[in-house]
Amino acid sequence: MKKHTITFRLNGEPCTLDVEANELLLDVLRDKVGVKSPKAGCERGDCGSCTILLEGKSVRSCLILAVEVDGQEITTVEGLSRNGLTPLQQAFLNHNSFQCGFCAPGMVLTVTELLEKNPHPSKEEIQEAIAGNLCRCTGYQPIIDAVLELTKK
Amino acid sequence: MDDFNVVGTSPSRIDGLDKITGAAKYVDDLDFGPGLLYAEIVESPYAHALIKEIDTSEAEKLPGVVKTVTAKDFPHTFGLYMKDRYIFARDRVRFVGEQVAAVIARDVGTAKRAAKLVKVTYEPLTAVLDLSEALKPDAALVHPDLENYEHCPWFFPRPKTNIAHWRKTRRGDVEKGFAEADVILEDTYTVPRYAHCAIEPHVIAGYYDAAGRLTLWASSQSPYTQRNIIAEALSPMGLSHKDIRVITPYVGGGFGGKAGVSMEIFGAVLAMAVKGHPLKIRWSRAQEFYNTSQRQGVIAHVKMGVKKDGTITALEHTLHWDAGAYAEYGANVVNAAGLSATGPYRIPNVKIDSVCVYTNLSPTGAYRGFGYSEFHFGLESHVTRIAKQIGMDPVEFRRKNAIAEGDTLAYGAKMNPGNMQEAINRCAKAIHWGRKETSEHPDRVIGKDISLFWKAPAMPPNASSAAFVKFNEDGSLNVMVSGMEIGQGYMTVMAQIASEVLTVPVDQIRVETPDTDRNAYEWQTVGSHVTWSCGNAVKNAALDARGKIITTVHRALGFPEESIYLENGQAKCRTQPDFALPLCDFVINGIQTKDGTFRGGPIIGSGIFMPEFTSATGDPETSQGGHPNVHYTVGAAGIILEVDRKTGKMEVLRTVLAVDVGQAINPVLVDGQIVGGLLQGLATVMYEDIRYDANGKLLNPNFTDYKIPTALDVPLETIPIILETPQPDGPFGARGVGEHTMIPAAPMIANAVEDALGIRIKTMPVIAEKIALANLGVDYDAVKGDTMGFCYAKKPEDYPFGIGD
Ligand code: FES
Ligand code: FES
């Protein structure tokens, strides 16, 4: 199959590589670039564990072809905490917000996006924002509580 | 209460930073180099068929294919409690999706394409898709060779039938008990199958090196048990335990689904088929649903007799379980339920029959709650109904009959400590039991309920734990254990236990994920038993290390051993008030004496724990004698539920769960188990609805059609309540909690719906559609078509329970 050369910025660093037209961004990030925080939970857009930020917007990397991100900016959890934990990560840590942790990278990015747009979300807005990120362990409560506590005025 | 320093506090989880930064590595995140191979499984389209021929020649021609593998290459069985499962289907397939062959290739795409080229010729057989048919004398047999399977001594399979196990518990005289009763209520309840839905799918990587050593990286709850099962299965190939190493990094949820061995066996044998090449398999979400293990479906008949004053006089509880194609683990679920299906009640006359039935659906096994969630649905529904029937408040009825310390259990042993009365009272208070509430919304009504629960770990009587602790130069500590940090906070709790004994701060303690070559033994992380069992082992290891510290100080400095103690990371002496020697000064390099020589050396400790008081020697006909369970954890839960009459839609306004954990080592982590477990339980009753078609094919193996809760589905308020009546044999008084918190959810919803609407739903799940239809007088079962949630599609009341004994 024909290879395409794509260039994008990953966590602030330029990244150039060859991909096939049908390769998924999730697989390319994990297997070719070595960024492991986006996880494969369902590979069909249902669970949100593969969430990344594309131009600051949360998207499911299992539903995006790698060729589509040519010229764009990608952020993963690895890039968020390069200068120490973000206040959101610290809040999650303080609240023991995660158990197995598998959903955590996706959840962190989804809430990061939310807080960019809406620094003081209501409980309902938080629930709405993370409704596409499945967590089987926590019952969501400690995740919601951490965000509420962090953002209360 | 005892005075603890670290136990009972809630330091931040020690795995928290790993998880919040993306540093946590799960199996699929490990790199195995450019030589990594992938495998795709060829699956049966039939629920039951004979395999006539497998032709792999076309697949092998595809460039990039390395090898194909079938049962011819690995004709072995495996299993935890009964070796009834085949590595690859041999001669016969027993469920839709069963592995018939595997194709190994250099990339995933090639493996998938090649798998489609494998031609399998089948001769379809009658599939056993109906429990009542499966139990008929002339039924098609799922396992014609049942009598040849090795199994644990407390299983009683019946050769030439589909019965994999039958647990009978008999106490007193039920006929006499029913004769004494003023009211007898009999009814049938059904609970379908459920899927675990850990967000991380099963992943296994294997590497069989040129020297004959097999290393496996598994997404697992059970590194040592996996090694044991795989070593036993592969012993014909000359592999022994020392040749197999299982490494288990972080696991992305398990809920019982990653206990024992399921797809991991493929990683082992396929790696052996391609010696010198690492190989990885990641299950798809669909495979997670149909080819790991599911929770069993069950049809339960409950007959209970009570006196007018509310005393329960007798209980007959018959449970027929749909175990699916393989029962190697699932038969123990049936066993556990068969011993404990009285629920947390004092009942003098008991007859329990818990029957494990092979069918041609997906295999089943452990799922958080291990049979207890299933039987509590019928039992706790029944308790509320019978209380109302005699005109007694259902909470009062429960108070009157609730189990207490010292009561005799159905199989003759005595009940351990646990404060059920307090749990009931706290829950009743939290939901304002007795106060009728009305919704502000005209179409909505509010119902309440309190349901009780209990559960014991189900494990072999000699299941054990072990621990090593070793000090580092700076006085920090490694705790080397093989329980899994499955999310419950195990690592943090083990660190707290070691810290309590050795006075090393929790943030100076590292607990690593297991490696069977390095870490001490652990049976499995199941049954909510690791805090208790491995906690005891860690405490013993820490005590062992403390003893060595004291001996070192005594030998070097001459202080009497009995006056030396640890405080704040220092060795101190009661007779020498000025003496305080930091651990970092001597735990590796010893203490220098006056003549310049040293005493001591690296401090290490080891500890073990085995519950030496348990046995599985109960009489097969009555279960009397023996001591099959280590302890029960008891509790209660309450709910305020709002239901929309027209749509059936429910909203949990408030839910509360009180559980007696003996001693919460880390209360915040216990709260996490309560809040998370309750939602998982509520999901089984309010949302999740598994569907098979009439040919035994699973129709909804994905999160679009099998709905697990999202953040929008959480109760408006969840109140966790921790009670602490110490467990005498637990570490600092702790007993297990984890699974328990999902058990009361299902009956609680059914009871609250009845309280709100006067509608009694006896088939799980109690979804909105069912409620709305019932409110219109339409029976959901009559309109749902011929799909089924477990191996019985007909009306529960028509089910023939009489199958002799
Ligand atoms: S893996 Fe992408 S949404 Fe589940
Ligand atoms: S913490 Fe396990 S899935 Fe969210």
Burial of residue B390 (CB within 10 Å: 0-12, 13-18, 19+) is middle
Q: What is the pLDDT of residue B779?
A: 86
Is residue B498 within 8 Å of residue B508, measured between CB atoms? Answer: no
Q: What is the pLDDT of residue B600?
A: 97
The alpha carbon of B540 and the centre of ligand 1 are apart by a number of angstroms equal to 43
Work out which ligand 1 atom sits closest to the CA atom of A47.
4
Examine domains A3-76 and A87-150 and report if their fold is the same.
no
Q: What is the pLDDT of residue B2?
A: 62
Q: What is the pLDDT of residue B786?
A: 84
Q: What does the pLDDT look like over A113-123, one tens digit per residue?
A: 999 999 999 99
Question: What SS3 state is found at B738?
Answer: coil
Work out which ligand 2 atom sits closest to the CA atom of B199.
3
For the Cβ of A76 lying below 6 angstroms from any atom of ligand 2, the answer is no
- The residue written with tokens 């966790």 in the block is B720
Dihedral angle at the C-alpha atoms of A130, A136, A137, A143, nearest 10 degrees?
0
Residue nearest to atom 3 of ligand 2 (CA): A135
Chain A residue with Cα closest to B282: A40
H runs (alpha helix) in B300-371: 330-340
- Containing B783, the helix (H) or strand (E) segment is helix B780-783
- Give dist(CA B300, CA B315) in Å, integer: 13
Q: What is the pLDDT of residue B509?
A: 98
- Give dist(CA B24, CA A39) in Å, integer: 11
Q: Treating both helix axes as pointing N-terminal to C-terminal, what angle do A141-151 and A104-117 enclose, rounded to 10 degrees? A: 30
Q: How many residue pairs from chains A and B have C-beta atoms closer than 8 A?
A: 159
Helices (H) then strands (E): counts for chain A:
6, 5
What CATH fold (topology level) applies to the domain A3-76? Ubiquitin-like (UB roll) (3.10.20)
Closest ligand (CA of B28): 1
What CATH fold (topology level) applies to the domain A87-150? DNA polymerase; domain 1 (1.10.150)
Is residue B641 within 8 Å of residue B650, measured between CB atoms? Answer: yes
Would you call A33 an interface residue with chain B, using a CB distance cutoff of 8 Å?
Answer: no
Q: Kindly give the parts of chain B with pLDDT less than 50.
A: 1
Q: What is the pLDDT averaged over residues A83-101?
A: 96
Q: What is the pLDDT of residue B784?
A: 79
Which pair of tokens denotes residue A5?
Answer: 């050369």
**Beta carbons of A40 and B702 less than 8 Å apart:** no
Q: What is the pLDDT of residue B117?
A: 98
> In chain B, which among 389-408 make CB contacts under 8 A with chain A?
none
pTM of the model: 0.97
**Alpha-carbon gap: A72 to the closest alpha carbon of chain B (Å):** 22
Amino acid letter, B513: T
Assembly ipTM: 0.98
Residues in chain B: 805
Question: Is residue A111 very low, low, confident or very high in pLDDT (cuts 50, 70, 90)?
Answer: very high
Q: Check whether A89 has a pLDDT greater than 70.
A: yes
Domains of chain B, earliest start first: 16-23+463-609 (3.30.365.10), 32-125+202-282 (3.90.1170.50), 164-195+294-459+617-798 (3.30.365.10)
Closest ligand (CA of B253): 2
- Containing B675, the helix (H) or strand (E) segment is helix B667-686
Backbone φ and ψ for B497, nearest 5 degrees, come out as -65, -45
Q: What is the pLDDT of residue B598?
A: 98
Chain A residue with Cα closest to B681: A139
Question: What SS3 state is found at B661?
Answer: coil
Rg (CA), chain A: 16
Closest ligand (CA of B200): 2
Question: Is residue A102 very low, low, confident or very high in pLDDT (cuts 50, 70, 90)?
Answer: very high
Question: A9 vs A61, A62, B80, B775, CA distance in Å?
Answer: 15, 18, 49, 57
| CA angle, residues B754, B759, B762, in degrees to nearest 5 | 90
> In chain B, which among 459-498 make CB contacts under 8 A with chain A?
486-489
**Alpha-carbon gap: A42 to the closest alpha carbon of chain B (Å):** 5
Residues sharing a CB contact under 8 Å with residue B776, sequence separation 6 or more, in sequence order: none
**Domain-wise residue ranges, chain A:** 3-76, 87-150
Q: Check whether A153 has a pLDDT greater than 80.
A: no
The alpha carbon of A129 and the centre of ligand 1 are apart by a number of angstroms equal to 16
Q: Please count the other Cβ atoms lying within 10 Å of the Cβ belonging to residue B122.
A: 18
- Give dist(CA B206, CA B245) in Å, integer: 10
Name the residue facing A99 among B676, B704, B712 (closest C-beta). B676
Q: What percent of chain A has pLDDT over 70?
A: 99
Q: Which of B366, B381, B361, B377 is nearest to B788 (CA)?
A: B361
**Beta carbons of B703 and A46 less than 8 Å apart:** yes
- Give dist(CA B488, CA A99) in Å, integer: 6
Amino acid letter, B655: T
